[in-house]
Chain A
């Protein structure tokens, strides 16, 4: 077998990474839009604290985030226990759990991107929409959301790319189970621990670089297309 070809196990890690990243973005995006909008447009007591809290995963060691997730979402944790008893849903050691860990880690990136795009929207446009008869939710859907779209798309792509590479929080919270939670970086880690695993490690490292580059280039391309469309 060619040393450049991915083994079936590595392919599995690759597809699993995409799966985890996609789930993570899908579930974190609506929450991120809401949080970004609240932080950009609402003035309330404790806004600075909420802002800092959202950004915590950026500065905390990922293993700490994983630890807190274990405390909260573990089968005996307050949320994890409730999910288990009510929906028979277990997050620890599952793909869903890996997605949750990556979602929390990439959340600040998405919020940042979306928030920037909201702050770029002229509030005067929303006023005009009001004078033309649009109520709050209608205004959000017909004016704010379309104008946020560039930020949302860029945020989603950046979050997706970052999710592919998340390591510490995933291994802490969801462990390193092939086919279940072993994404590309975890597989790379395992290969490094294995005797004669350095060729596999190199393959997985190159794969990571390719995926990361693809993500960054895609987000740049989307941003450019949208800028041209809106003439900004």
Chain B
């Protein structure tokens, strides 16, 4: 468990942030630029001292203004990956990877160099220097260097923000692998909600130096505050469930989310756990159950709440105890008489739903990060 509470004034930003995050697991700090994300990063890493506050990871207090505790950065064991990689230019990749490891000789080292090199695909880069690496490779080396410092927390500060779309796609699978195989808690800072959707379990929504909302991804996706910040592109609902069936010929997976069965066109294997994102704009509302329709999911729903937006209305629906969002026009609301407690049907196209494996069913590797997870 990470508990964070800090107030600090920095330039024009009056920051007062409080959140707690599960550990292990990925917690995303999401917000627009200027929301205070970098300040929280600096406070966590100890590069900036709060005026008042308390920062605790597990049973280790890193900062407590009331008790006069302020552990220096170099003892916090919070390894960072920054947007600009910050590899040491005078060392080769191997030298960079070993930099942190060489400085924590007195700590147990569950994370092994060979495993990290294998996991991040660095074997062919070891002799190279930073200027001989692509942007994506730099970030992978930076990740490896952070992991090998045997941290109790991994702090990723916009690690993909300076990469183009292709490079981002190159690094993201490595981050997913990291999340699945390493038991170290990760704080992931981003202003791109699609990254948050792919990687995080828990989201802290920051704006103007304060926390607007904080909770599991699925819950944060329903927050009007998020819709105001992140825009229409990320409006949608998150459903998590286990794959109970997969038709290879059809490319169609059946996912069981509690009482709800959802069919999605996502490559998957039985018993895998999937996180499915259903964009609100891709959900069609019908008053009657339609049979001859191409959408693979026709779900009976009840309207819980109407959230008016600019030019459209976001319907918060309940489908067998799960929340679903649908974005419709004002005229549709009027003509269909959509209101709270109205029973209707939500049509969800199997190809519109985006699915991501969120957890390997295999056990995490025995070597990786056990003591750090316990801390």
Contacts and interface: CB of A to CB of B under 8 A. Distances in A.
A230 interface: yes
Contacts of A85: none
B169 to A, nearest CB: 26
Given A133-B149, A134-B74, A231-B130, A128 B103 contact: no
Q: Do most interface residues of chain B lie in helix, strand or loop, or is the interface mixed?
A: mixed
B20 interface: no
Interface residues of B, number: 29
Contacts of B80: 128, 131
A142 B86 contact: no
B328 interface: no
A147 B88 CA distance: 9
B129 interface: yes
A191 interface: no
Given A125-B88, A230-B89, A131 B131 contact: no
A142 B99 CA distance: 9
B275 interface: no
A122 B130 contact: no
Interface string A127-170: 11111111100100011001101000000000000000000000
Interface residues of A, number: 21
Interface string A45-70: 00000000000000000000000000
Sorted nearest first, the 8 A-B pairs with minimum C-beta distance are A231-B131, A132-B100, A133-B103, A146-B90, A130-B73, A128-B86, A131-B80, A132-B149
Given A127-B47, A130-B47, A231-B89, 18 more contacts: A124-B86, A128-B82, A128-B88, A129-B88, A130-B46, A130-B74, A131-B74, A131-B78, A132-B145, A132-B146, A132-B149, A133-B74, A133-B103, A147-B90, A230-B90, A230-B131, A231-B130, A231-B131
Interface of A: 122, 124-125, 127-135, 138, 142-143, 146-147, 149, 230-232
Interface of B: 45-47, 73-80, 82, 84, 86, 88-90, 99-100, 103-104, 129-132, 145-146, 149, 155
